């Protein structure tokens, strides 16, 4: 005769294992999405650095040539 408590524990353990597998799959998908977002952000960060460098160089050039004027 089977122990009903053991059957219940086995069923619960099976549900836990199934839920952990689903959680693992979703965490893997989330990690992939975050990697894609980070790659996109790297491009934005690069453009931001390039623009800041351009603005700094343009300001330096305008100051050195005496062409820099106050904002309106």
Mean pLDDT of 55-62: 94
Q: Given a cut of 80, is residue 1 above it in pLDDT?
A: no
Output the pLDDT for position 34.
98
C-beta separation of 61 from 55 below 8 A:
no
Of 42, 68, 41, the residue nearest 55 (C-alpha): 68
Q: How far apart are CA 24 and CA 49, in angstroms?
A: 37
Mean pLDDT, the chain, integer: 93
Cα–Cα distance between 60 and 72 in angstroms, integer? 19
Longest dimension (CA), the chain: 98
């Amino acid at each position: 005769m089977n122990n009903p408590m053991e059957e219940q524990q086995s069923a619960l353990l099976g549900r836990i294992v199934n839920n952990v597998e689903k959680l693992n799959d979703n965490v893997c998908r989330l990690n992939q999405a975050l990697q894609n977002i980070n790659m996109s952000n790297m491009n934005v960060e690069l453009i931001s650095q390039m623009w800041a460098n351009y603005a700094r160089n343009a300001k330096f050039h305008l100051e050195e040539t005496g062409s820099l004027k106050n904002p309106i």
